[in-house]
Structure 1
Amino acid sequence: MQREEAYKLLTEHLKTENLINHSLAVEAVMRRLAKHFGEDDEKWGLAGLLHDIDYDRTKDDPKRHSMVGADMLAEKGLPEDVVYAIRVHNEIHGLPLKSLMDKALYATDPLTGFIVAAALVKPEKKLEVVDVKSLKKKFKDKAFARGASREQMKSCENLGLSLEEFLGLGLEAMQGIAQEMGL
């Protein structure tokens, strides 16, 4: 599946601008991480873009989230490793994170919301004014962006990245699409 087709499919299934922006942010970070690790950025980008494709259908039933989407994407012919990464990003299923892509998607999912929250508390409400130092400070404040799992983000260490490196790569990727996200 090409990116254009994937985006069309995403917007057919997700109707909320915030969810679409979240998907774009996860795609950007996954592409950046793929480049960092010398992996296939198209494949990793698809995993990021489509990881929450079933959210509008499953938001009230977390046990179905990611399973419905993964099954749908398998039927569409997406590569098995992309489908598996999407399936396992929801920790409720207890499935093992096997590949680098699995681990990256799992850590990246909450990271993007955390970075967006850091931008929105700035007077400018822009990603360009966010830096890694401020992200590290906000990370320590458990009351800030409470829904962004610190434990999940810290799993970046399973990728061989320090939290600071992970925050930097994520921020860089999201700043690259800030205009598209309206931030």
Structure 2
Amino acid sequence: MKTVKFLALPLLATALVMTGCASRKPANTTDATQFPSGAGTVNTQGLSEDSALNAQNLAGASSKGVTAENKAFLAKRVVHFDYDSSELTNQDYQTLQAHAQFLMANANSRVALTGHTDERGTREYNMALGERRAKAVESFLVTTGVSPTQLEAVSYGKEMPVNAGHDENAWKENRRVEINYEAVPPLLK
């Protein structure tokens, strides 16, 4: 009887950890064509439905920290990664720097950084990789001066692909971190 208890505890602990890794509500995926053309200037391609709606929601948005130079970078809400990597690429630094500038100028802004992977690898490995990717973006923003209280890093692993294909192009799109403004998004008009 003691053997059963000792075997059940690690299984229960593992199950609790795995369910806690993706504690946020999963979203349905969509593309930008589902939104009216006058809904805003944010590029929602490659975002989940909730993220796209969030990006389009300009109610309560702020123009503080939005400059002509960083407007295009603020419109980008997805950072992509190489295969099996959580290293930021040089092309993502300007995007992340623009979001950091905006977040520092708007202390009431809140961002969820959702890490995603392609379909290759085990669920457990991909949950950890998605978390490393989200934490890499979070670390860059905090190092730049953003308050950690404005950020939340979450991993969905391979559970929420934006492209359901099974080739390199699909996998490339799915290896990402989405920058989802949950409060006071940038006003980009």
Normalising by structure 2, what TM-score?
0.27
Larger radius of gyration: 2
Q: Give the number of the structure with larger relative contact order, counting CA–CA contacts within 8 Å between residues 6 or more apart.
A: 2
Under a length normalisation based on structure 1, what TM-score does the superposition of the two structures give?
Answer: 0.27
More helix by share: 1
- Structure with the largest fraction of strand: 2
